[in-house]
């Protein structure tokens, strides 16, 4: 007789019950196997589609859809080559973020605090906060635009949505709501189908994807910066690094994490490109996008008359999803840099800094979405802001991944440094050009 | 977090008589004076950073870059062993003996000679500004993970020592402000260094920075749940170092208290051999839960590294779905026959002391190995040593047991109705398989209040 059955001498009572147990296990085997098989199949599907879908959805929020749709409407296929460059940039940057996460096991904000002086940390955090607040504004603008498609005034729905999202997060039932929003946002997966059914000029698409071309106009520059901002946003980099850290991925897991990150980035960009193509085929050449119902026309080949409804559904889902996650993530990043993320864990509502940052962002987001600016203009404007701020965060990531004291042997090699350096310099040059021409415009010189 | 003054104000004792009160009062004024003196005597590390290093005649010879201290020795307050000075383009190390005195805005040297050797870290030494400031530390007093906003040094006897860590937001703002205000200490929320556990960053470039040392006694006094809290809060390097310095059984106890997803992440990042060892030391139900969350290939890899018996037991527990009795139960059960006396059973329980959290009663089995009674530890305590267990069980009231496929609701209902703190799980012949304790059910029913992570979709 013993506490642990395995230690029991043969022939004892315990050994008999061990025999009894094996029969029980044998009876159960069928059931056990069944549950196991079922589970693993779901995981397999999720493992293939999951990260990509989630990443694509995280990127293709309200502002993303508006920006890509505007690109298709204003420049038809002429931004496609630029999107190829942006995809390369996203792949490079996401790979670096994931490498930092797997090799150091720390979030990006914590890493910046440890590696840079406090003033530079404050600069980085300020940029993240600025970019994310812009994103929050765009999410509420997206919600407003979606409800206006359904015939509800945005002045009515935005305050309600702000209070609802705030309450869902603070009182803790957000996790359930999130799944509903995610399913709703899957409506945007209709875009690839619409891109095919919409009979775009495939020859023009192919040529524009393969042959380098740019337009040296202010409108193209503006949209280019917005495309960068919405695709390579600071938020996405924090997200990518935090993702691997939370899973406990270490250097041994890095090859897998890298494949995940790269395939996720490419998948997200492919979806973005199909949005441009679908919109270009539907309303290409009609000038800048001015309303959500114009953007919804792109889904007509799939949904016919219901296109606006489908578009609104997707927009509500994507905006509500990001409307909570984005302000939470900037509040978390700041708490992490200050070093109080631990105190947030148990008493979420008692962590004043965290809750305050979250609340302020939701209020600013909703308030700016209530101004009388055209919603599409507001949506694209926030992405231009992101595009201007993004290079700052990219410089931090580039410096961190080039430091041998941080990554050891996994630090960037000279060739990689050159490629990413050129990439970051290009992105910076574009946002500086835009900033410069805007400032000149203020003085009537532009 | 409540504000703590530095140094801590004395608290009145609760059971003091008059004499003690007056003694306390005189001690109090004395300590207040000391407190004021200490406040004036402390030097902010942030203020020292970049301050001029002067020779005896007050001429600047260089700028201070960092302060070197020996952290992790037996001292509660690590002594400063030297400073790193930038002279021209070189960084030179100056031993503490070369320093005449340090005040808040400058360091004055004793010697005119300056040995311009490059700085090399000696074992056990850390650079306070580079390695400790802005890095994670564990406050063992309040059991929390913090990030140092400033470090305070003070002249103690003839040595300068590291005495406290500032963690206030106000100090961060002071550091962002103009340089000329930075030296002024703002000791509002300061933690006594004696309560602090720091970690050597394992810099991939500088292996000398990795310290091998025993954890402080304060850390060893923490309860497993508190250690679990700290482990969850630390970044990977700190977590690994802390885990490596803990006694394996204590580490396993702490792991049992961690949130399942945190635990899985932690087990995935340590070496497989260490992970297997830790899991094997955990209570079987918690170990099975940890393994359940892992990818199948890593699960088999870890199981293969464990002793045969543990391997079999865990594999069996993993066969049950997580939300049924079989998946929640622990297989640590104490059994006895009805003929055994209370005395004999008590003696056997002594040997099972390390499973104390898992055993709250003893299953009484008949000659066929079927459960005929469940005698609580309380009954064993209050009954006479010589009585056989058969006397303690009520033949008319068969023990309340569960089948392994009972779901969580059924378990909770049965537990509430039977008013017991644990229930036996039996197979269809009535032979015991394991035990479900009320805390297992609480764990399973209460939604996890895990650490907040960077918010992501579908975590």
Question: What is the mean predicted confidence (pLDDT) over B86-111?
Answer: 84
- Subunit contact B134:A118, Cβ cutoff 8 A: yes
Spatial separation of the C-alpha atoms in residues A170 and A164, rounded to whole Å:
10
pLDDT band at B219 (very low <50, low <70, confident <90, very high): confident
Alpha-carbon distance B36 to nearest alpha carbon in chain A (angstroms): 29
User: Could you state, in order of their start, the residue ranges of all structural domains in chain B?
Assistant: 46-203, 222-319, 334-444
Of A105, A119, A324, the CB nearest to B176: A119
Question: What is the mean predicted confidence (pLDDT) over A26-50?
Answer: 37
Of A20, A32, A239, the CB nearest to B319: A32
Of B269, B369, B451, the CB nearest to A17: B369
Q: Is the pLDDT of residue A436 over 50?
A: yes
Q: Which residue of B has its CA nearest to A181?
A: B457
Q: Which residue of A has its CA nearest to B265?
A: A248
**A24 reaches B (C-beta below 8 A):** yes
Q: Which of residues 254-313 of B touch A (CB under 8 A)?
A: 261, 264-269, 296, 308-309, 312-313
Helix (H) or strand (E) holding A376: helix A375-402
**Tell me: the pLDDT tens digits for A306-356?**
899 999 999 998 898 888 888 988 888 998 898 877 666 556 666 788 889
More confident residue, A172 or A232: A232
**Tell me: the pLDDT tens digits for B36-66?**
766 677 888 988 888 899 888 888 888 999 9
Q: Which of residues 346-365 of B touch A (CB under 8 A)?
A: 352, 355, 359, 365
- Subunit contact B457:A118, Cβ cutoff 8 A: no
- pLDDT score recorded for residue A3: 39
Q: Is the pLDDT of residue A218 over 80?
A: yes
Spatial separation of the C-alpha atoms in residues A106 and B201, rounded to whole Å:
12
| Average pLDDT across chain A, whole number | 82
**A22 reaches B (C-beta below 8 A):** no
Q: Which of residues 251-310 of A touch B (CB under 8 A)?
A: 253
Q: Which residues of B touch A253 (CB under 8 A)?
A: 268
**Tell me: the pLDDT tens digits for B342-351?**
888 888 888 8
Spatial separation of the C-alpha atoms in residues B47 and B152, rounded to whole Å:
10
How many beta-carbon pairs below 8 A join chains A and B?
A: 180
- pLDDT score recorded for residue B452: 62
Q: Which of residues 328-347 of A touch B (CB under 8 A)?
A: 328-329, 332-333, 336, 338-346
Residue ranges of domains in chain A, CATH in brackets: 1-42 (no CATH), 60-442 (1.20.1740.10)
What does CATH list as the number for B334-444? Answer: 3.10.580.10
- Subunit contact A105:B450, Cβ cutoff 8 A: no
Q: Which of residues 82-141 of A touch B (CB under 8 A)?
A: 104-107, 110, 113-114, 118-119, 122
Of B316, B368, B431, the CB nearest to A25: B316
Q: Does domain B222-319 have CATH number 3.40.50.720?
A: no
Question: What is the mean predicted confidence (pLDDT) over B300-313?
Answer: 86
Q: If DSSP codes are grouped into helix, strand and coil, which group holds residue A396?
A: helix
**A50 reaches B (C-beta below 8 A):** yes
Question: What is the mean predicted confidence (pLDDT) over B120-143?
Answer: 83
- Subunit contact B332:A3, Cβ cutoff 8 A: yes
- pLDDT score recorded for residue A47: 47
Q: Is the dihedral of CA B238, B239, B241, B242 positive or negative?
A: positive
Whole-structure pTM value? 0.79
Question: What is the mean predicted confidence (pLDDT) over A365-391?
Answer: 91
Question: What is the mean predicted confidence (pLDDT) over A200-205?
Answer: 91
| Average pLDDT across chain B, whole number | 80
- pLDDT score recorded for residue A89: 94
Q: Which residues of A touch B359 (CB under 8 A)?
A: 3
More confident residue, A376 or B205: A376
**A177 reaches B (C-beta below 8 A):** no
Alpha-carbon distance B101 to nearest alpha carbon in chain A (angstroms): 27
Percent of chain B's residues with pLDDT above 70: 84
**Tell me: the pLDDT tens digits for B364-410?**
888 888 888 888 888 888 888 888 888 888 777 778 888 888 888 88
């Amino acid at each position: 007789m013993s506490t642990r059955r395995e230690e029991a001498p043969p022939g004892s009572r315990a050994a008999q019950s061990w025999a009894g147990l094996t029969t029980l296990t044998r009876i159960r085997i069928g059931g056990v196997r069944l549950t196991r098989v079922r589970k693993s199949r779901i995981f397999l599907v999720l493992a293939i589609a999951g990260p990509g879908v989630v990443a694509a959805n995280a990127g293709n929020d309200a502002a993303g859809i508006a920006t890509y749709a505007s690109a298709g409407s204003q420049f038809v296929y002429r931004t496609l080559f630029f999107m190829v460059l942006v995809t390369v940039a996203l792949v490079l940057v996401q790979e670096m973020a994931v490498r930092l996460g797997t090799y150091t096991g720390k979030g990006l904000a914590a890493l910046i605090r440890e590696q840079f002086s406090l003033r530079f940390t404050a600069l980085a955090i300020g940029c993240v906060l600025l970019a994310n607040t812009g994103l929050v504004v765009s999410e509420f603008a997206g919600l407003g635009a979606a409800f206006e498609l359904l015939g509800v005034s945005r002045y009515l729905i935005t305050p309600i949505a702000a209070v609802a999202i705030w309450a869902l997060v603070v009182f803790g039932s957000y996790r359930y709501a999130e799944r509903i929003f995610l399913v709703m946002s899957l409506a945007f997966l209709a875009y690839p189908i619409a891109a095919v059914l919409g009979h775009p000029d495939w020859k023009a698409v192919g040529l524009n994807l393969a042959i380098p071309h740019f337009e040296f106009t202010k409108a193209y520059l503006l949209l280019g910066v917005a495309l960068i901002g919405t695709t390579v946003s600071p938020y996405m980099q924090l997200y990518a690094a935090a993702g691997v850290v939370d899973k406990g991925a270490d250097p041994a897991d890095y090859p897998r994490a890298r494949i995940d990150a790269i395939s996720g980035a490419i998948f997200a960009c492919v979806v973005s490109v199909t949005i441009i193509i679908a919109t270009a085929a539907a309303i290409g050449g009609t000038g800048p996008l001015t309303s959500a119902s114009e953007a919804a026309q792109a889904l007509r080949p799939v949904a016919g008359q219901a296109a606006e409804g489908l578009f609104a559904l997707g927009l509500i889902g994507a905006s509500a999803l990001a409307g909570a996650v984005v302000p939470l993530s900037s509040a978390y990043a700041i708490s992490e840099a200050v070093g109080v993320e631990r105190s947030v864990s148990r008493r979420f509502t008692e962590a004043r800094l965290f809750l305050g940052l979250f609340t302020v962002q939701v209020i600013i987001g909703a308030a700016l979405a209530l101004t009388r600016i055209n919603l599409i203009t507001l949506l694209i404007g926030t992405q231009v802001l992101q595009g201007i701020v993004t290079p700052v965060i990219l410089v931090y990531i580039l410096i961190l991944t080039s430091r041998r004291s941080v990554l050891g042997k996994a630090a960037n090699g000279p060739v990689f440094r050159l490629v990413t350096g050129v990439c970051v310099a290009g992105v910076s040059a574009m946002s500086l050009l835009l900033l410069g021409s805007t400032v000149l415009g203020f003085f009537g010189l532009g | 977090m409540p504000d703590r003054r530095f140094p801590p104000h004395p608290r009145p004792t609760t059971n003091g008589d008059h004499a003690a009160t007056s003694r306390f009062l005189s001690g109090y004024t004395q300590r207040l004076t000391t407190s004021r003196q200490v406040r004036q005597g402390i030097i902010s590390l942030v203020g020292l950073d970049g301050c001029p290093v002067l020779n005896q005649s007050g001429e600047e010879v260089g700028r201070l870059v960092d302060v070197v201290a020996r952290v992790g020795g037996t001292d509660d307050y690590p002594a400063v062993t030297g400073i790193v000075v930038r002279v021209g383009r070189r960084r030179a190390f100056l031993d503490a003996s070369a320093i005449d005195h340090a005040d808040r805005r400058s360091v004055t040297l004793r010697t005119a000679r300056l040995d311009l050797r490059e700085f090399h870290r000696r074992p056990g030494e850390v650079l306070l500004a580079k390695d400790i400031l802005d890095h994670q530390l564990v406050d063992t007093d309040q059991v929390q993970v913090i990030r140092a906003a400033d470090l305070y040094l003070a002249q103690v006897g003839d040595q300068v020592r590291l005495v406290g860590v500032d963690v206030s937001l106000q100090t961060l703002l002071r550091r962002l402000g103009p340089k000329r205000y930075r030296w002024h200490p703002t000791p509002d929320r300061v933690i006594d260094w004696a309560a602090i556990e720091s970690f050597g960053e394992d810099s991939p470039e500088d292996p000398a920075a990795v310290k091998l040392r025993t954890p402080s006694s304060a850390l060893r006094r923490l309860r497993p749940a508190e250690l679990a809290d700290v482990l969850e809060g630390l970044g990977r390097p700190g977590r690994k170092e802390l885990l490596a310095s803990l006694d394996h059984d204590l580490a396993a106890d702490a792991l049992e208290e961690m949130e399942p997803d945190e635990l899985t992440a932690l087990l995935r990042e340590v070496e497989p051999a260490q992970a297997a060892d830790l899991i094997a030391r955990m209570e079987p139900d918690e170990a099975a839960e940890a393994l359940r969350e892992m990818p199948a290939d890593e699960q088999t890899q870890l199981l293969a590294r464990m002793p045969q018996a543990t391997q079999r037991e865990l594999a069996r527990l993993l066969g049950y779905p997580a939300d049924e009795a079989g998946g929640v139960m622990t297989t640590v059960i104490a059994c006895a026959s009805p003929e055994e006396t209370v005395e004999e059973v008590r003696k056997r329980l002594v040997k099972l002391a390390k499973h104390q959290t898992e055993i709250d009663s003893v299953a009484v089995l008949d000659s066929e190995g079927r459960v005929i009674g469940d005698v609580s530890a309380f009954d064993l305590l209050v009954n006479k040593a010589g009585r056989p267990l058969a006397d303690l069980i009520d033949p008319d009231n068969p023990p309340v047991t569960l089948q392994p496929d009972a779901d969580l609701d059924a378990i909770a209902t049965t537990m509430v109705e039977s008013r017991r703190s644990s229930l036996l799980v039996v197979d269809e012949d009535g032979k015991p398989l394991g035990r479900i304790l009320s805390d297992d059910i609480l764990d399973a029913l209460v939604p996890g209040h895990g650490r907040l992570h960077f918010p992501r979709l579908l975590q």
